[in-house]
Amino acid sequence: MITKSDGIRFIDGSGHILVIAPHGPFIDGAYQNDLRTGVIAEEIQHRLKCTAVINDRFFKPKGPIKKDAANYYLDVYRIDHAAKVPGYLDGIRDIVDAPGKTMVLWVHGIADDVALRQGEDHVARGLFSGEPDALHALIGFGQGKDPKKGDPKNRLSARTQTVEIFRDALTRGGLTTLLTHPEGSNFRGRDEKRLNQWFNHLGYGVDRVESIQLEIREKGFRDSQANALKTAGIIAEALRDIALP
Q: What is the pTM for the complete model shown?
A: 0.96
Residue 165 identity: I
Do residues 167 and 177 lie in contact, with contact meaning Cβ atoms separated by under 8 Å? yes
- Which CATH code for domain 8-243? 3.40.630
| Separation of alpha carbons 135 and 189, rounded Å | 18
Share of the chain above pLDDT 90, in %: 89
Looking at residue 245, what is its pLDDT? 55
CA quadruple 234, 236, 240, 241: dihedral sign? positive
Burial 41-79 (b: 16+ CB within 10 A, else e): bbbbbebbebbbbbbbbbbbbeeeeeeeeeebbbbbbbb
As a whole number of angstroms, the distance between CA 207 and CA 102 comes to 9
Which residues, other chains included, contact 198 with Cβ-Cβ below 8 Å and sequence gap of 6+? 79, 89, 211
pLDDT of residue 22: 98
194-225 pLDDT, tens digit each:
999 999 999 999 999 999 999 999 999 999 99
Longest dimension (CA), the chain: 52
Per the DSSP assignment, residues forming a β-bridge with 137 are 177, 216
* pLDDT over 60 at 78, yes or no: yes
pLDDT score of 2 more than 80 = no
Task: Give the mean pLDDT of 141-153.
Answer: 86
Mean pLDDT of the residues in the chain? 95
Q: How confident is the model at residue 168 (pLDDT cuts 50, 70, 90)?
A: very high
pLDDT at 131: 96
- Taking only the tens place, the pLDDT of each residue in 26-53 is 999 999 999 999 999 999 999 999 999 9
pLDDT in tens, 82-140: 999 999 999 999 999 999 999 999 999 999 999 999 999 999 999 999 999 999 999 99
Confidence band, pLDDT 50/70/90 cuts, at residue 244 = low
Return the percentage of the chain with pLDDT > 70, whole number: 98
